[in-house]
């Protein structure tokens, strides 16, 4: 039996490592990913040295039974285990874990460093097409493509969209390095991506004013100096979680939060319950959460390293960085600047402002319906996958099997990672992803000895 994983970032590499450890002879594993970030992923393999992990090193092991595996791999001291290390270093750890698992596996393993651009049904499973023109057949395929490419900002005019003064993705082709030190910058987004952009600009000696704009104008909250003490959730909170009652949960949390020593303890205590809570929520309630509470939840849930928070605060105190709440209604290229029409949150007056550069930094995108990702677009147009109506990835079964456009499970086609947000919501961080990787690996290998084997075709190995 051949199992192919498309995507060699954290989710794909963690799943491949789990399969390599669990699978025996007669199973052929294939991990497909682009060469530049193979085994590391874009988040870790293409980060800059100044970009830090948002989690302490002690909690970033790649397997559920060894949460301290990353710190152990580095042989960190007790004090250093609580630090926030460069993301590039974590990418090297992931790559090393994958290669170790492959070397010790009794299963066959192919590492393909080409982009997968299409997956089609075949008589014996699926045919995977690669960007170099080659293809091969696989019994089972797992989509582990991570977050989707960012989409254009609404309101950006056609002339600006192709002009160097608009950066639709700040890390493309070293574009951020070409920004003049005195340039006036408008960054749309105030989350984790914005924080990375600003710290990179600071390292480069940027002197010009920076405005960061988002609908609520919220910055990610910071981790504390030390891990918060674990707390037990009271019966009222547990009842609301078990009955999938968001209003009741919100009331219980508002009552509880003033008496909790550290609000981070409360957020951390909720995490083990959130996947089942989300799974039981009807679509209208999910939509209401996304409209009204999502921004507040994410800045508390996805926290940043204390030293990064201090840098951002210092830039705000100096006046160089301004965080604003509002909407970008229109942006166009004027004669000598970007003209941005902005409405402040809660206001009716429109402000026409001028900047030298507009940067999109709106973060995670899982909107399958509008995505231009080649593979995802092909699967969507062929009807082999169906988009979640709220833009949270793919429709899937409880077993991570992908549902097609008619609502039926596509036997042998699975997903893992952020594209499962519609099913689980909390599936973008290491603790949830490493557990999902182990669970899916076990499921994929179940009854593998009796699975119908696809004809073996030679794959292009880079």
SS (H, E, C) 197-230: HHHHHHHCCCCCCEEEEECCCCCCCECCCCCCCC
Residue 224 is encoded by which pair of tokens?
């504390």
Calculate Rg over the CA atoms of the chain: 23
* pLDDT over 90, % of the chain: 91
Q: What pLDDT digit, counting tens, does each position of 4-16 carry?
A: 999 999 999 999 9
Domains of the chain (ranges, CATH numbers): 2-149+365-450 (3.50.50.60), 158-221+303-360 (3.50.50.60), 235-301 (no CATH)
Render pLDDT for 97-136 as a digit per residue (tens, 0 to 9).
Answer: 999 999 999 999 999 999 999 999 998 799 999 999 999 9
Read out DSSP for 410-449?
EEEEEE-SGGGHHHHS--SSHHHHHHHHHHHHHHHHTTGG
Rounded CA-CA distance 259/253 in Å is 10
Distance CA 28, CA 8 (A): 17
By DSSP bridging, strand 350-355 and strand 357-360 are: unpaired
Dihedral in degrees, nearest 10, Cα atoms 96, 99, 100, 104: 180
| pLDDT tens digits along 260-300 | 999 999 999 999 999 999 999 999 999 999 999 999 999 99
pLDDT value of position 448: 61
Nearest CA among 126, 139, 123, 109 for reference residue 32? 109
Of residues 149 and 142, more confidently modeled = 142
Q: Determine how many CB atoms are found less than 10 A away from the CB of residue 292.
A: 9
Residue 321 has a CB neighbour count (10 Å cut-off) of 23
pTM above 0.85, yes or no: yes
Quote the tokens at residue 178.
Answer: 């070409």
> Considering only CA atoms, which of 219, 175, 174 is closest in space to residue 194?
219
3-state secondary structure of 326: strand
* pLDDT digits 0-9 by tens, 344-359: 999 989 999 999 999 9
Name all contacts of 67-76 with Cβ < 8 Å and 24+ positions apart: 67/431, 69/97, 73/97
258-280 as b/e: b if 16+ CB within 10 A: eebeebbbbbbbbeebbbebbee
Tell me how many degrees the CA angle 429-430-434 measures, rounded to the nearest 5: 125
In this predicted structure, the answer to whether residue 301 has a pLDDT above a threshold of 80 is yes
How many C-alpha atoms does 99 have within 13 Å on its Cβ side?
9
């Amino acid at each position: 039996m051949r199992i192919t994983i498309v995507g060699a970032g954290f989710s794909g590499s963690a799943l491949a490592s789990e399969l390599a450890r669990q699978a025996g002879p007669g199973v052929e594993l294939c991990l497909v990913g682009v060469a530049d970030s193979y085994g590391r992923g874009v988040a870790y393999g293409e980060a800059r040295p100044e970009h830090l992990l948002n989690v302490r090193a002690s909690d970033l092991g790649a397997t559920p039974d060894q949460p301290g595996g990353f710190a152990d791999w580095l042989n960190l001291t007790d004090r250093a285990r609580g630090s926030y290390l460069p993301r590039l270093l974590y990418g090297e750890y992931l790559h090393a874990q994958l290669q170790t698992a492959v070397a010790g596996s009794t299963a066959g393993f192919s590492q393909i460093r080409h982009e997968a651009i299409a997956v089609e049904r075949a008589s014996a499973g699926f045919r995977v097409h690669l960007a170099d023109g080659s293809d091969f057949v696989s019994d089972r395929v797992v989509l582990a493509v991570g977050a989707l490419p960012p989409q254009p900002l609404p309101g950006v005019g056609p002339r600006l969209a192709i002009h160097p003064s608009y950066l639709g993705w700040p890390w493309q082709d070293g574009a951020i390095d070409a920004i003049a030190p005195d340039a006036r910058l408008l960054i749309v987004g105030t989350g984790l991506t914005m924080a990375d952009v600003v710290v990179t600009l600071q390292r480069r000696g940027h002197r010009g004013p920076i405005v960061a704009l988002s609908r609520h104008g919220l910055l990610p909250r910071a981790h504390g100096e030390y891990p918060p003490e674990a707390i037990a959730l009271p019966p009222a909170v547990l009842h609301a979680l078990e009955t999938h009652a968001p209003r009741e949960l919100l009331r219980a949390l508002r009552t509880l939060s003033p008496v909790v020593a550290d609000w981070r303890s409360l957020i951390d205590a909720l995490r083990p319950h959130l996947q089942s809570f989300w799974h039981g929520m009807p679509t209208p309630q999910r939509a209401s959460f996304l409209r009204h509470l999502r921004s507040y939840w994410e800045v508390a849930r996805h926290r940043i390293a204390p030293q990064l928070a201090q840098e951002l605060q210092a830039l705000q105190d100096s006046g160089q960085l301004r965080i604003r709440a509002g909407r970008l209604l229109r942006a166009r290229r004027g004669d000598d600047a970007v003209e941005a029409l902005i409405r402040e949150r809660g206001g009716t007056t429109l402000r026409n402002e001028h900047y030298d550069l507009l940067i999109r930094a709106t973060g995670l995108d899982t909107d399958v319906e509008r995505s231009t990702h080649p593979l995802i677009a092909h699967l969507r147009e062929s009807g082999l996958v169906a988009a979640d109506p709220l833009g949270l990835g793919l429709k899937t079964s409880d077993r991570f099997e992908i549902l097609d456009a008619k609502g039926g499970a596509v036997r042998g086609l699975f997903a893992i990672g952020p594209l499962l947000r519609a099913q689980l919501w909390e599936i973008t961080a290491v603790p949830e992803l490493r557990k999902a990787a182990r669970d899916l690996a076990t499921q994929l290998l179940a009854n593998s000895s009796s699975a119908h084997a696809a004809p073996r075709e030679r794959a292009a190995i880079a």
